[in-house]
Amino acid sequence: MTAPDANPLEALRTQLERRGEELDRLGATADAAAATVELDQTRVGRLSRMDALQAQALAQATRERQLVERQRIRAALRRLENGEFGRCEACDEPIATARLTADPTHTLCIGCASAAERR
């Protein structure tokens, strides 16, 4: 495992920033879909209301995942700024470039991530 050099770091920064912008754009749409469902029984049948409530719950769960991912992106960008990016939080060894390329928000090397999953 080797630490990423400057060029891949800039590519990863760009990847993180683009995904963050995409999540920000998706957020507006997801917020509208997760809004409170109107339960006017004179306009909508029982099954339609159930469908609307299910769609709302799905939209809320999707939005929550997007918010968590956005937090992970912000944290990765902070690590880039602080010079801490690419080091395992558990063992302080470099995280493989291929692992960071697949998901630049990873904070653990593959060995520590595997160990954490076994627990």
Four-point Cα dihedral 80, 83, 89, 92, nearest 10: 140
pLDDT, tens digit (0-9, with 9 covering 90-100), for 74-88: 999 999 999 999 999
Res 19: pLDDT: 92
> Chain-centre distance of CA 86, in angstroms?
17
Q: What is the 3-state secondary structure (H, E, C) of 46-99?
A: HHHHHHHHHHHHHHHHHHHHHHHHHHHHHHHHHHHHHCCCCECCCCCCECCHHH
| pTM for this prediction | 0.73
pLDDT, tens digit (0-9, with 9 covering 90-100), for 94-119: 999 999 999 999 999 999 999 999 98
Top pLDDT among 46 and 70 is at 70
d(CA 12, CA 7): 9
Res 50: pLDDT: 81
pLDDT of residue 44 exceeding 70, the answer is no
